[in-house]
């Protein structure tokens, strides 16, 4: 990747931020390592207007769908070629371990390839209308300028599930990176530039919510908003969208349950639970943070989990041997410490972890933590921590497991572990969540839609339907009779 300073990318050019710059902190050291451009409302206006011009410009609007797909294939190839460099940047700026960022960003290329292939598969329809002298059909046309807003975690993946379908459909995009760890997306802008998209088709910037985010969500030229983040910010997004009446897709937080029945393979379950909560240091919207386990196997499963949690190698996120790195921000570290303190005061029993690990005087490190909870009202059970904290609840009967799983305002993901196929299907029907993994956890694919219920958001990303969401239909009526149209005021 080029070593140029980090800049916003607006209308095909790299530029400084109108609000100056801010320091980005390396979570492994707690020290600033780079300056990032801070966009203001004027920058946002310039980016949206550039996207609007590009949307109508023949250099983009008259491309065939196949030509758009070829640009996306080129972008996918560039992502694959630069995956390691992007991974190193993401690890440096967010603290996610290099093994995870490398694998995830390499897979991001497949998302762009999937939508590249879909570009010329977005079809209209012929309608068998009930009027014999009419021929009718539906056209699918791009919705317009898209405002895409992503958080710092998995930002290249979360951008791909927005940029991919939006560009395949023929839209133009203004993408706002989080002010926490924006380096990978600002570097990704150079790949967009190299891929050959016309100026203004993709604009990428970063800045703070009050000057940048609110201006983007409320801009009158924005037709659709695709947001990933927390419910509090989502409420602001929705309020601002009242200004432009933009369509809104929200992919928000989660408090995902993992339900384990006594007939499950405990070794397999232990591996899945550890991957679900301690991978990415628990900083994932689908983190399996609530373990709901049948009481007959609870102690045996806890014993396995404690062994695995204590064996996790915490360290430098750039080192290949590291299995868990730091939290992304000091703010998040303080939040987790507060929730754990309140949870223990409310009756939670600390099984392992619960503090900062020895040997890391600097950085935002926190131990893999397990809390045994005897009530669903304990704060760690109710609140999204976005960190490596697992809350464990015991149950006796299946109905109780369903009740515990659904006792949350969230509904993004869930897991069920059982050898019984009939029980698995009952649980799939009963759990209120947008994703149900059975005897596995955290599997993703560009082919599968993804989204939640309740406070976990609305709309879906991924799959064919996501591309259709970036279009609107146009109804076309063609009169095929050569007879004159009758005078409407002559009664017959």
pLDDT at 43: 98
User: Catalytic site residue 397?
Assistant: no
Residue 115 φ/ψ region, left for φ over 0, alpha for ψ in the -120 to 50 degree band, beta for the rest: alpha
From 251, 323, 383, 384, active-site residue: 251
Non-local (6+) Cβ contacts of 306 within 8 A are 351, 352, 370
Residues 248 and 261 in one domain: no
For residue 249, which of 184, 189, 171 has the smallest C-alpha distance?
A: 171
Residues 375 and 399 in one domain: yes
Residues 218 and 364 in one domain: no
Is 93 part of a structural domain of the chain? Answer: yes
Tokens representing 267 are 């070794």
Distances (CA, A) of 252 to 139, 191, 229, 390, 420: 32, 28, 5, 20, 31
Residues 209 and 312 in one domain: no
Q: SS in 3 state form for 433-477?
A: CCCCEECCCCCCCCCCCECCCHHHEECCECHHHHHHHCEEEEEEE
Report the DSSP pairing between strands 457-458 and 247-251.
antiparallel
Residue 106 sits in which domain range? 8-252+452-476
Domain count, the chain: 2
Non-local (6+) Cβ contacts of 65 within 8 A are 119, 120, 122, 168, 170
Q: Residue 266 is part of a domain; what is its CATH number?
A: 3.40.309.10
pLDDT at 138: 97
Is 292 part of a structural domain of the chain? Answer: yes
Residues 463 and 422 in one domain: no
pLDDT at 2: 45
Q: What is the residue whose two structure tokens read 């015991």?
A: 394
For residue 163, which of 155, 153, 173 has the smallest C-alpha distance?
A: 173
Q: Is the dihedral of CA 353, 287, 104, 166 positive or negative?
A: negative
Residues of 14-30 as b/e, b for ≥16 C-beta within 10 angstroms?
bbebbbeebebbbbbbb
DSSP string, 124-177: -EEE--S-TTEEEEEEEEE--EEEEE--STTHHHHHHHHHHHHHHHT-EEEEEE
Is 315 part of a structural domain of the chain? Answer: yes
**Which residue numbers in the chain have pLDDT < 70?**
1-3, 492
Non-local (6+) Cβ contacts of 309 within 8 A are 274, 278, 352, 353, 368, 369, 370
Residues 118 and 244 in one domain: yes
Please check whether residue 79 is in contact with residue 191, taking contact to mean a CB–CB distance below 8 angstroms.
yes
Residues 164 and 71 in one domain: yes
Is 388 part of a structural domain of the chain? Answer: yes
Residues 371 and 226 in one domain: no
Residues 212 and 337 in one domain: no
Rounded CA gap, 192 and 160, in Å?
A: 12
Tokens representing 98 are 């290099």
Angle value at C-alpha 320, between 318 and 323, nearest 5 degrees: 90
Task: Order across the sheet with 134-142: list the strands.
Answer: 125-127, 134-142, 471-479
Residues 468 and 431 in one domain: no
Other beta carbons within 10 angstroms of residue 128's beta carbon come to: 5
- The radius of gyration computed from the CA coordinates of the chain, to the nearest angstrom, equals 25
Rounded CA gap, 338 and 327, in Å?
A: 15
**DSSP state for residue 121 in the 8-state scheme:** G
Tokens representing 208 are 């703070």
Kind and range of the H or E run holding 251? strand 247-251
Residues 237 and 262 in one domain: no
Q: Residue 233 is part of a domain; what is its CATH number?
A: 3.40.605.10
Residues 156 and 20 in one domain: yes
Tokens representing 353 are 């972890």
């Amino acid at each position: 990747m080029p070593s140029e300073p980090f800049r916003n990318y607006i209308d095909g050019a790299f530029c400084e931020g109108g609000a100056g710059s801010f320091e980005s902190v390396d979570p492994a050291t707690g020290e600033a390592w780079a300056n990032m451009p801070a966009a203001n409302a004027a920058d946002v206006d310039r980016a949206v207007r550039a996207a609007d011009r590009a949307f109508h410009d023949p250099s983009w609007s008259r491309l065939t769908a196949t030509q758009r797909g070829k640009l996306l294939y080129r972008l996918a190839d560039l992502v694959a070629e630069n995956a390691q460099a992007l991974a190193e940047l993401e690890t440096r700026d967010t603290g996610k371990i290099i093994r995870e960022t490398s694998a995830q960003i390499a897979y991001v290329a497949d998302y762009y390839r999937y939508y590249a292939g879909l570009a010329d598969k977005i079809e209209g329809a012929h309608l068998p209308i009930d009027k014999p002298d009419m021929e009718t059909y539906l056209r699918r046309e791009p919705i317009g300028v898209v405002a895409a807003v992503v958080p710092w975690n998995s930002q290249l993946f979360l951008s791909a599930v927005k940029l991919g379908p939006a560009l395949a459909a023929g839209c133009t995009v203004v993408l706002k990176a989080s002010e926490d760890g924006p380096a990978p997306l600002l570097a990704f802008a150079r790949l967009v530039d190299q891929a050959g998209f016309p100026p203004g088709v993709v604009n990428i910037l970063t800045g703070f919510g009050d000057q940048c985010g609110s201006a983007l969500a409320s801009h009158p030229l924005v037709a659709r908003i695709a947001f990933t983040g927390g419910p509090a910010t989502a409420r602001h997004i929705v309020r601002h969208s009242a200004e432009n009446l933009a369509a809104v897709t929200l992919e928000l937080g989660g408090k995902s349950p993992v339900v384990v029945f006594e007939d499950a393979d405990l070794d397999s379950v232990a591996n899945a639970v550890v991957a679900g909560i301690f991978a990415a240091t628990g900083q994932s919207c689908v983190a399996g943070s609530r373990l709901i386990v049948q009481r007959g196997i609870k102690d045996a499963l806890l014993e396995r989990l404690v062994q695995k949690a204590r064996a996790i190698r915490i360290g430098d996120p750039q080192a290949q041997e590291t299995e868990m790195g730091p939290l992304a921000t000091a703010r998040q570290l303080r939040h987790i410490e507060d929730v754990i303190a309140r949870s223990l005061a409310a009756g939670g029993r600390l099984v392992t972890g619960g503090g900062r690990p020895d040997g890391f005087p600097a950085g935002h490190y926190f131990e893999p933590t397990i809390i045994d909870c005897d009530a669903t009202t304990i704060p760690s059970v109710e609140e999204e921590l976005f960190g490596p904290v697992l809350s464990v609840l015991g149950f006796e009967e299946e109905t109780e497991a369903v009740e515990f799983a659904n006792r949350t305002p969230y509904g993004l993901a869930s897991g069920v572990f059982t050898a019984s196929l009939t029980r698995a299907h009952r649980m799939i029907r009963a759990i209120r969540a947008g994703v149900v993994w059975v005897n596995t956890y955290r599997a993703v694919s560009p082919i599968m839609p993804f989204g939640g219920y309740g406070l976990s958001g609305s709309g879906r990303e991924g799959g064919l339907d996501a591309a259709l969401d970036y279009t609107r239909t146009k109804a076309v009526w063609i009169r095929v009779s050569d007879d004159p149209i009758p005078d409407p005021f002559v009664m017959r």
